[in-house]
């Protein structure tokens, strides 16, 4: 059985709306996802990099993120044909571990929690495919990287791309 590794943040969990809301509320700004096309919030507001990271260091930040549309249904379908691993770079923000684990158990309870991988460098993952929004994780990954479209990666090329979970379904299961 082939193995698919799936990133959590900005692929399964809708990370940016909460991050933007916290920043906008704290600074009286109204930055939108459209303002971030081709860049990350820390690039747009480089004078606030530490504060932006501090939001993510809050142990509860990841606990109440919205689920990406169709991800539950498609991952459930993939689970019938592939071995599924959830691979999240939690070591960047180690305080996120509990919230991420609880979020996964709440929203993806059909997955085996022994297949949740909290790591730093995803090149350690032995899988046939990695669905991720960040191309840096593909550089040393031995399988096929599949880029999940996010505001910050719209100019990236060189990898198969999926724009949403219905595209993921079509890529792996056909139409």
* Residues annotated as catalytic (active site), given as ranges: 7, 9
In this structure, what are the phi and psi dihedrals at residue 97, rounded to the nearest 5 degrees? Answer: -55, -55
- Supply the DSSP string of the chain, one letter for each residue: --EEEE--BTTTEE-HHHHHHHHHHHHT----GGGGTTS-HHHHTGGGHHHHHHHHHSTTGGGGPEEPTTHHHHHHHHHTTSEEEEEE-GGGSGGGHHHHHHHHHHH-TTS-GGGEEE-S-GGG---SEEEES-GGGTSS-SSEEEEEP-GGGTT--SS-EESSHHHHHHHHH--
């Amino acid at each position: 059985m082939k193995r698919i590794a799936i990133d959590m943040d900005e692929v399964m969990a809708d990370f940016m709306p909460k991050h933007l809301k916290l920043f906008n509320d704290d600074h009286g700004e109204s930055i939108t996802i459209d303002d971030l096309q081709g860049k990350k919030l820390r690039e747009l507001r480089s004078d606030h990099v530490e504060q932006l990271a501090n939001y993510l260091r809050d142990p509860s930040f990841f606990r109440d993120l919205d689920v990406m549309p169709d991800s539950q249904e498609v991952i459930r379908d993939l689970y019938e044909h592939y071995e599924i691993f959830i691979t999240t770079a939690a070591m960047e923000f180690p305080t996120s571990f509990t919230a991420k684990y609880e979020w996964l158990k709440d929203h993806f309870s059909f997955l085996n929690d022994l297949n949740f991988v909290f790591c730093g460098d995803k090149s350690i993952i032995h899988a046939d495919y990695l669905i991720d929004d960040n191309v840096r994780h593909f550089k040393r990954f031995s399988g096929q990287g599949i880029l999940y479209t996010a505001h910050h990666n719209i100019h990236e090329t060189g990898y198969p791309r999926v724009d949403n979970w219905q595209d993921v379904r079509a890529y792996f299961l056909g139409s």
